A and B are shown apart, each in its own frame.
Chain A
């Protein structure tokens, strides 16, 4: 294949603890460390491995988000991607609108394969890849734990509730990544320097004529109901006594 497109999202770093705003309007991200969504990082890594194996010629990264998301794109470029596109907006863009923007980008490019993370660890929606596949009329393989390119088709092993399933897809196609697909590489300093010179284009959602207004009104964001503090018990028999008393064993 010629080109792989990898959409990536900048999210609150996986190791940071989200703080719910006191006025219930959302999560307070001010001053928090932002990073590439871990599933998106896996998608970038997989695209690069396909390229390095001679299966693809170019890896293009796209992100939709604020100006700061350029950092996320630069990270993907430092990992080895060829060029990047930022569709810049400070608004929260829902998966359906993201899929519509990506649809427009696919029409512009067009890639042979789009690899996305299966979900972003902030909104936990798990929708964008499937929605993009629907809008394009392309086949989809979600939750991939292995990908093999073979005679113009893609063999994808998927993690499903009952075990593993393998699908064969013709190209072009959509794949979304699960955790065990690969372990993303670390970026070496020279590559980070080199990435600064790689092309990064900036556009606006309006350039694509896509309506990105929200369909879901967020009425409140609250902390989860907490659990009552528990107790430490000294021995297994004490534990069993308590569980028996509660009718659990």
Chain B
């Protein structure tokens, strides 16, 4: 029996999330096929074909898949669903958008945000913003899963690529139309996969100070920049930097929280980081309850000292 994994990509680069989801699925002890649905996405299929654990790549190259819209992609996945025992996607914004649509078309109850595969039908997933972990057993014949990628390591690569098989897009009328997008600049490491994340909260006080304080420190540490919901709501940082229950979930080796109080919904997005450092002037801030190292004080004084100490 085989598992189908829907790749996450931007038509040029295969995201790190795909390799992490692959690692999770390999634990189910099955062959895994990776579906690359995109437009002029040949290079993505070639990268996928070198992921350790991939059994075959299925490439659907069509303008309908250029922007990952849910309607054509769900129709494609349903047309391929056939004998696959499980269909999975990384729990990225794309995976979360399309997989429930597939699940309903197949009459399957999806298991979202899997953090551990206990057995081929039993999974662990966080609920209540990570304040509890549910162990659930799926009674559906087919399993539909989104994988929380921060819980799994990236798959390695191999030299000998597995075969790439091309399939055609299903016919259909797609109602939603792509109008445009505003993508954030990519001059920093990707938040979801960076080894080090420097995150800022409302205490930064303005978009300028957010950039002035976090920018140089992140540069020095080769870190991605993150933000609390409060900082994003206040307009200090764009939405794609939000870490939390409803934003991105990260688990870097080192997470540095600057001026973040540590609301439950923020902790849900970062508390699985290996080492957490918190700098906050309120010594009772809940962030200190999860921090391995805490400094109580003014971040505007401490961050420059930190940079100096780093040399």
Contacts and interface: CB of A to CB of B under 8 A. Distances in A.
Interface of A: 12, 14, 17-18, 20, 27, 39, 94-96, 99, 118-119, 121-135, 138-143, 145, 155, 158-170, 173, 178-180, 214-224, 227-228, 230-237, 239-240, 242-243, 246, 248-249
Contacts of A132: 104
Nearest to A97: B109
B67 A131 contact: no
A139 B176 CA distance: 5
A223 B99 CA distance: 27
Contacts, number: 249
Given A96-B108, A141-B176, A167-B178, A236 B306 contact: yes
Given A94-B109, A124-B128, A240-B310, A217 B104 contact: no
Contacts of A129: 100
Contact of B176 (A168, A220, A221, A228): A168
Most buried by B among A179, A214, A220: A179
Given A130-B104, A164-B182, A167-B177, A179 B246 contact: yes
Contact of B134 (A134, A215, A220): A220
A239 B232 contact: no
Contacts of B136: 216-219
A138 B175 contact: yes
B176 A159 contact: no
B176 A169 contact: yes
Given A167-B178, A222-B133, A236-B302, 19 more contacts: A18-B131, A96-B110, A124-B126, A126-B96, A133-B70, A158-B93, A159-B93, A161-B240, A163-B240, A166-B178, A178-B246, A218-B136, A220-B135, A224-B132, A232-B295, A240-B310, A243-B293, A246-B275, A249-B254
Report which residue of A129, A237, A243 has the largest number of chain B beta carbons within 10 angstroms of its beta carbon.
A243
A231 B245 contact: no
B221 A121 contact: no
Contacts of A124: 112-113, 126-129, 245
Contacts of B177: 167-169
B239 interface: yes
Interface string B83-109: 000000000111011111111110111
A219 B295 CA distance: 41
Given A18-B128, A217-B136, A159 B69 contact: no
Nearest to B110: A127
Contact of A227 (B126, B248, B271, B294): B271
Interface residues of B, number: 88
A220 B124 CA distance: 9
B225 to A, nearest CB: 14
7 contacts: A121-B129, A163-B182, A166-B178, A218-B136, A221-B134, A228-B292, A243-B277
Nearest to B178: A167
A246 B303 CA distance: 20
Main secondary structure on A side of the interface with B: mixed
A160 B94 contact: yes
A237 B272 CA distance: 25
A221 B192 CA distance: 27
A235 B305 contact: yes
Contact of A134 (B104, B122, B175, B275): B104
Contacts of B67: 165
Nearest to A179: B246
B132 A221 contact: yes
A132 B98 CA distance: 12
Nearest to A126: B96
Given A168-B176, A169-B175, A231-B294, A161 B137 contact: no
Interface in B114-143: 122, 126-140
A131 B103 CA distance: 7
Contacts of A236: 295, 302-303, 305-306, 308-309
Interface string B11-41: 0000000000000000000000000000000
Contact of A239 (B131, B276, B306): B306
A123 B248 CA distance: 17
B254 A168 contact: no
Nearest to B275: A248
Contacts of B130: 224
Nearest 4 A/B pairs, CB to CB: A215-B109, A130-B100, A236-B305, A139-B175
A216 B138 contact: yes
B131 A134 contact: no
Contacts of A239: 277, 293, 295, 306, 309
Contacts of B308: 236
A172 to B, nearest CB: 10
A17 B131 contact: yes
Given A140-B70, A163-B238, A215 B138 contact: yes
B134 A218 contact: yes
Nearest to A136: B104
